[in-house]
Amino acid sequence: MAKRLLVKVNEADNVAIAVKEIKAGTQVSEDLVTRQDIPQAHKVALERIPKGQPVIRYGVILGYALEDIEKGDWINEFMLELPTPPSVDDMEYGKKIVTDLPTPPVTTFEGYRNPNGGYAGTRNILGISTTVQCVTGVLNVAVKRIKEELLPKYPHVDDVVPINHAYGCGVAINAPEAKVPIRALRNLVHHPNFGGQVMVVALGCEKLTVEKLLDEADISPENVIVLQEQKGFDAMVNAIMEMADKKLAILNQRRRETLPLSDLCIGMQCGGSDAFSGVSANPSAGYAADMLVNAGATVMFSEVTEVRDGVHYIAERCVSKEVCDKLAAEMKWYDHYLEEGNVDRSANPTPGNKKGGLCNIVEKAMGSIAKSGSSPIVEVLSPAERPSKKGLIYAATPASDIVCGPCQLASGITLQVFMTGRGTPYGLAAAPVIKVCSRNEMKEMWQDLIDINAGPVATGEAQISDIGTELFNKIIAVASGKDQSFAEKYKLHNDLCIFNPAPIT
């Protein structure tokens, strides 16, 4: 297939984006000549757009022209007035329930069955939870020694991961919204990649007590170490290592087995997005998501501000009024959360997003939701909530990469697919992260960080189905332990940033 200069997404669009930088005066089609230099991924007007008239991409109104825009003009973020966000009241649901999904090449993977049921693990990890940030220094010293001295004795255990966080004390622990970080940390204790082994390091005087973090059945000397009860630093480290040794011995007995994809839970997230993200990387991820759902797997997509302007399209895919109502409630909650901070969803796009051609949050949102594919949405989750259904799920989270990731982990994902246009070395310690880039230049620059290149879709050299199938196969290989993503190989792990909308005292 020949390379193209412009990408127009929808027949109704009056703009297209530049596949490469286009110089002023370039004849890009029979009746279109650029009037200014058009940077890569930025928009060019396909027709004259008078002041006050809509600028349309993805078939939706991105905004309204602040001044007359001539055919062939470069359109950037300074030229548009942001439209009013769509209402979430009385949204229509069930209008677009697609059941004719692409056929997956396989319907099984090699995973770790968990003793308490639920999703299977893609990795065999000793997770060490904490009640408060105060214990992090001691735990990190202990984990370093565990990895050096103990882990080599247990070849069937992949890693030891401390669940360090900034929560636990100096917080309004009984505030209504404290339920969000507490729920996240409680669910992380039982992450599927941790094999059912509970290990907690506490300080002893924190507000997030062991009783708030664990179920009563899990509270025992075999699972909990309280540092204030230890006689000095050496005793603390030795106690942690002794408990870890016992847990590692149990985990070392786990083995992978062939399991149905209905036991797999995958997260979809994007960050460092550009105008190609919604053309190549995210639609390819959406195609892979549809394959996974068709095979019985659970797939989560998130990021409230990055779906807010397309929420009515998501509602049409909700399977019931109950699901649609929960979607509306999550949008309203986040609208209020932003209002209390005296901002709105327009605060989302970054300078890098804009440099990558995204004018505003509407354009970013329409590209973002493409990673959800076309499957019916069977459930909507509050931040860090665990699902009760299998299939495509909208898990409401902030859009920030380092906050969304831990929320999805707490909801049970065991592998994450991360789409990027500008590039980020983001990663998670508790689950592998596969990187998908939106343009060829990103892959050429970061050969050893990007796992899948969707750039050929943008240039017209590949179909979404081609890259989507490649990604599906990569997901199965990584989930089965037959392959590693670059982020996992290099141990690129971001700190866990637990979403806390409650006051800090």
Mean pLDDT of 208-219: 97
What 8-state DSSP symbol labels residue 357? T
The pLDDT score that the predictor gives to residue 345 is 87
Give the burial string for 403-412 (b: 16+ CB within 10 Å, else e): bbbbbbbbbb
Q: Using an 8 Å Cβ cutoff, are 216 and 443 in contact?
A: no
Name the CA dihedral angle for 298, 301, 302, 303, rounded to a multiple of 10 degrees.
Answer: 170
- Model-level pTM? 0.96
The pLDDT score that the predictor gives to residue 346 is 87
**Among 466, 363, 417, CA closest to 41:** 363
Query: Where residue 56 falls among pLDDT bands split at 50, 70, 90?
Result: very high
The pLDDT score that the predictor gives to residue 4 is 86
Mean pLDDT of 466-480: 98
Q: Per residue in 272-309, pLDDT tens?
A: 999 999 999 999 999 999 999 999 999 999 999 999 99
Q: CB 257: neighbour CB atoms within 10 A?
A: 12
Find the farthest-apart pair of alpha carbons in the chain and give their distance in angstroms, rounded. 81
d(CA 245, CA 226): 17
d(CA 441, CA 412): 33
Task: Compute the mean pLDDT over every residue in the chain, rounded to the nearest whole number.
Answer: 96
Q: CB 95: neighbour CB atoms within 10 A?
A: 12
Paired residues of 7 in beta bridges:
17
- 3-state class percentages of the chain: helix first, strand second, coil last, to nearest 5: 35, 20, 45
Answer whether residue 347 shows pLDDT above 60.
Answer: yes
Percent of the chain with pLDDT over 70: 99
**29 or 252, greater pLDDT:** 252
Answer whether residue 171 shows pLDDT above 60.
Answer: yes
Q: CB 66: neighbour CB atoms within 10 A?
A: 12
Q: Where are the alpha helices (DSSP H) in 50-125?
A: none
Q: Give CA separation, 224 vs 161, 208, 214, 244, 391, in Å.
A: 16, 14, 10, 11, 35
Answer whether residue 1 shows pLDDT above 50.
Answer: no
The pLDDT score that the predictor gives to residue 44 is 97
